[in-house]
Chains A and B, each alone.
Chain A
Amino acid sequence: MQLTDNAPGLKKMKLLVCVKQVMESGSIIQINDSKKWIDHLASNRFEMNKFDAYAVEEALLIKEQFPDSRIDIITVGPDHAKETLRRALGMGADEGILLADNHKGYRPPFRTATWIAAYARDKDYDLILTGIMSEDEMNGQTGPMLAEILLVPCCTGTIRETLSPDKKTVSVEREIEGGARDMFDIKLPCVLTLQTGINSPRYPALSKVLRAKKKKMNVIDVNFLEKNKQTLTLKNIQHPKKTRKGILLNGTTEGKVDQLMDILSKKALLQ
């Protein structure tokens, strides 16, 4: 991120970062009795979606350049999603907003996007940032849908962004197939979904974490937000069949080493 000097007298930047709380990677995934969603086991731990951490960091980098910027963090989820908001506050964000949804089950991205849009609509955000997708569902839809509901431009897969000094446009690079980058100038307000590697998300600072613990979150029950229609139904979920096209080596590590060496030699891949 590179920014030029902050011209005085311009309006303050208002940033909104959309984050999601997900189960820690490597968690046990157990299908519940309805076969339509998973159980939340007592052993499950939650964390901020790794992709969204890049969005929080990018907002903080913007605030370092434009210190009078304000960073709001929003999430849709159950009460424990507050922990993810607190982490973002611990990183340096200003305000946490929980759109409280206690429904257990699949929530289509359109619903999430509609609720965030309902909250954001009259708040004059200049820039809305989020991760390229969530680790758990990997839809990549919430950001682009949110932009379209708010009728603002959107750039997905952003790998670099530079705000103009007058804070009216943002120059972005978006990653395409093969790693090449297309560059655009986009008028604010807009939504950017960020590709991993755009920055290195910081760890929360202890002093900020302590402050975040005391901070009251802005909690809004989603039932008070605008209703949205059902666009998708999740019929069922299952563990994918363990289809292995290849062979599984058995035995001790040494035995597996011998087998692999044998296979590669026979195929003349190793001499």
Chain B
Amino acid sequence: MGKKIAIIAEHGNGKVKPITYELYTMVKKIQELSPFKYEIQFFILGQDTELLAHSISANTGENTHSVNIPGVAHYNGSLYKRILSALFTKEKFDTICAPHSTSGMDYAPALAVILKGACITGVEEVRQEEGDIGFVRSLFGQKISATLVGEACPLVLTLQPGSFKPNSLKLDSPDKKNKGRVEKVVHQCNEDKMVFTGTRPSASKGSNLDKADVIVSGGRGIEEEENYQYIEMLAALFPRSATGGSRPICDYGWVKYSKQVGMTGTMVSPKLYIACGISGATQHVEAIRDAKFIVAINTDPDAPVFRIADVCIIADLTDFIPLFVEKFNRKKKAKNE
């Protein structure tokens, strides 16, 4: 018997977000591991979704539902939960895949409750587990990786961005022959319990993080506010550099939120990123994924940041940085003499 998988697409600024195709890659992996035949369907919700739906179906060859909600340009949790649960009650799916984004994390757990299913958030890997499909996610500050199996249907899951590279897709050369169908639905919806009233721009707007060639960032591991001077000291050695910070040190008030590197701050892509005392929480790592070269300095040899760094340095940054600066200045002086 066949199984059915739904993928909820994510979009913004008139574009389909890459996580949509990462979800598709994950679903393909599920297909590979499973003895069942899977039918895949995409769902894209919001205003003016039709063009985007066509682009998804052209890129993947899968059927895509364009769910148009007139007048709703922004994510609204109550509204989305109502529409999604109606869609998935009308047509049942075994697995429903959503992005681990601020919206996916908002609706996925509720959707699982409404549909009397199960929910796994932040999926990083899929593996065969005694005849079942096991979903792998991190626990305990990424020091444990757990394999979970859904026991209720549907299984609603959210995929951690960056876990599945959509490499096998020919995204820019749509194959007309294999284009999937686009089905249009319009949902007129009134939601009075939760009313959208507007947006406010990010505090990180206007920061120089997105233009810098080199970014030196500090995290909780700097331990004291005063120690941020080491971050500034190191950054000063590089032309076109900027200083940043992880979310916790912004929360502590040690640096302004405009300096926050992370999914809820600035996504950066410098030539060089130096992470000092940053453990490497997913929300940070995801934001530096496009950095060309990453150096990490941390006292904890098991810090997850070392998994993605090009150069790993186990050291106390309050020793390492002053010494680095001193040696650099000495070298420079010798060169100039």
Contacts and interface: CB of A to CB of B under 8 A. Distances in A.
Interface of A: 23, 25-26, 29, 31, 38, 106, 108-110, 113, 135-141, 144-145, 147-149, 153-157, 171, 173-187, 190, 195-197, 200, 229-240, 242-249, 253-254, 256-258, 260-261, 263-264, 267, 269-270
Given A153-B78, A178-B267, A249-B312, A183 B196 contact: yes
Contact of B196 (A182, A232, A246): A182
Interface in B191-205: 192-204
Contact of A260 (B141, B145, B200, B311): B311
Contacts of A173: 200
Nearest to A135: B141
B244 to A, nearest CB: 13
Contact of B323 (A184, A196, A257): A257
A140 B105 contact: yes
B151 A156 contact: no
Contacts of A240: 138, 142-145, 307
A218 B195 CA distance: 37
B251 A197 contact: yes
A176 B145 contact: no
A153 B77 contact: yes
A29 B140 contact: yes
B49 to A, nearest CB: 18
A196 B112 contact: no
Nearest to A231: B118
Contact of B119 (A109, A136, A256, A258): A109
Nearest to A186: B194
Contacts of B307: 240, 242-245
Interface residues of B, number: 97
B308 interface: yes
Contact of A235 (B148, B237, B310): B148
Nearest to B281: A138
Given A138-B138, A257-B327, A269-B271, A232 B151 contact: yes
B250 A154 contact: no
Contacts of A239: 143-145
B112 A110 contact: yes
A235 B323 contact: no
A221 to B, nearest CB: 24
Contact of A264 (B81, B114, B272): B272
Given A175-B264, A177-B264, A247 B310 contact: yes
A246 B312 contact: yes
Contacts of A181: 199-200, 202
Contact of B149 (A137, A185, A197, A235): A235
A231 B118 CA distance: 5
B260 interface: yes
Contacts of A141: 108-109, 119, 121
Given A229-B152, A247-B310, 11 more contacts: A173-B200, A176-B264, A179-B202, A179-B265, A181-B199, A230-B152, A232-B152, A240-B144, A246-B310, A269-B272, A269-B293
Q: Is the interface of B mostly helix, strand, loop or mixed?
A: mixed
B313 A249 contact: yes
A178 B202 contact: yes
B247 interface: yes
Contacts of B238: 269-270
B147 interface: yes
B36 interface: no
A208 to B, nearest CB: 24
Contact of B74 (A148, A182, A232, A253): A182
Contacts of A184: 76, 194-197
Contacts of A267: 293
B136 to A, nearest CB: 9
Contacts of A257: 320, 323-324, 327
A168 to B, nearest CB: 11
A155 B78 CA distance: 9
Contacts of A113: 113
B144 A31 contact: yes
Contact of A261 (B76, B122, B312, B327): B327
Contact of A156 (B77, B140, B143, B146): B77
A248 B314 contact: yes
A106 B144 CA distance: 13
Given A109-B109, A233-B148, A245-B307, A155 B121 contact: no
Contact of A177 (B102, B150, B311): B102
A155 to B, nearest CB: 6
17 contacts: A25-B141, A108-B118, A110-B113, A157-B106, A177-B101, A179-B264, A182-B196, A187-B192, A190-B194, A232-B149, A245-B307, A246-B311, A249-B313, A256-B315, A263-B311, A269-B214, A269-B293
A200 B251 CA distance: 8
A234 B148 contact: yes
A21 B146 CA distance: 20
B122 A139 contact: yes
A256 B313 contact: yes
Contact of A178 (B204, B312, B319): B204
A180 B200 contact: yes
